[in-house]
């Protein structure tokens, strides 16, 4: 796929006459924003988070987050995918765990239940904010709104939860 092409818009073509220039302008402004965010993230020096465009496509990124110190996720590293729509930053990116993540707010497909990625999204958020929020969510799940009910029920027993978490993490490393 061509550089800086929105994957959602790539297959649609020019369905409406005259829409090409507006789409190109939108993609250009989103590309500019994403380039700025990449530079900001690279210069921020935040330990435990990183993200870079996948290949030459600014609309698809691969991110990593390390589990925060003092949490059961300490020492674990997770890979995520971030896909930015043509309406970014007014519409949130789609963010999923690529590394299997045993967590109350993450399902078996890697989908994340986090309000800032849904109804609480703001154009003020950026990739750094998203990654920091997910990193924070690891240690502070919302067990009242679980995607993984078993993990949510086990959360109150931290020693048992940590054992289950590390078993699941080790299994996924072997596969």
CA distances from 57 to 2, 35, 82, 157, 165 (A): 7, 11, 11, 42, 33
Residue 142 contacts residue 105 (beta carbons within 8 Å): yes
> Alpha-carbon distance 24 to 30, whole Å?
10
| Nearest CA among 168, 72, 152, 71 for reference residue 104 | 152
In degrees rounded to 5, what are phi and psi of residue 61?
-120, 155
DSSP codes of every residue in 39-92:
HHHHHH--TTEEEEEETTEEEEEEEEEEBPTTSTTBT-EEEEEEE--TTTTTSP
Angstrom distance (rounded) from CA 110 to CA 104: 11
Residues identified as active-site: 113
């Amino acid at each position: 796929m061509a550089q800086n092409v929105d994957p959602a818009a790539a297959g649609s073509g020019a369905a409406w006459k005259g829409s090409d220039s507006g789409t190109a302008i939108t993609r250009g402004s989103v590309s500019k924003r994403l380039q700025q965010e990449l530079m900001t993230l690279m210069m921020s020096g935040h330990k435990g988070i990183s993200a870079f465009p996948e290949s030459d496509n600014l609309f698809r990124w691969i991110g990593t987050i390390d589990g925060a110190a003092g949490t059961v996720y300490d020492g674990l590293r997770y890979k995520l995918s971030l896909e930015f729509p043509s309406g970014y930053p007014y519409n949130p990116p789609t963010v999923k765990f690529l590394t299997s993540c045993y967590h109350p707010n993450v399902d078996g497909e890697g989908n994340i239940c986090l309000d800032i990625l849904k109804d609480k999204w703001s154009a003020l958020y950026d990739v750094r904010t998203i990654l920091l929020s997910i990193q924070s969510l690891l240690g502070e799940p919302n067990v009242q709104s679980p995607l993984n009910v078993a993990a949510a029920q086990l959360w109150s027993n931290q020693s048992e939860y940590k054992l289950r978490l590390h078993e699941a993490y080790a299994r996924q490393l072997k596969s």
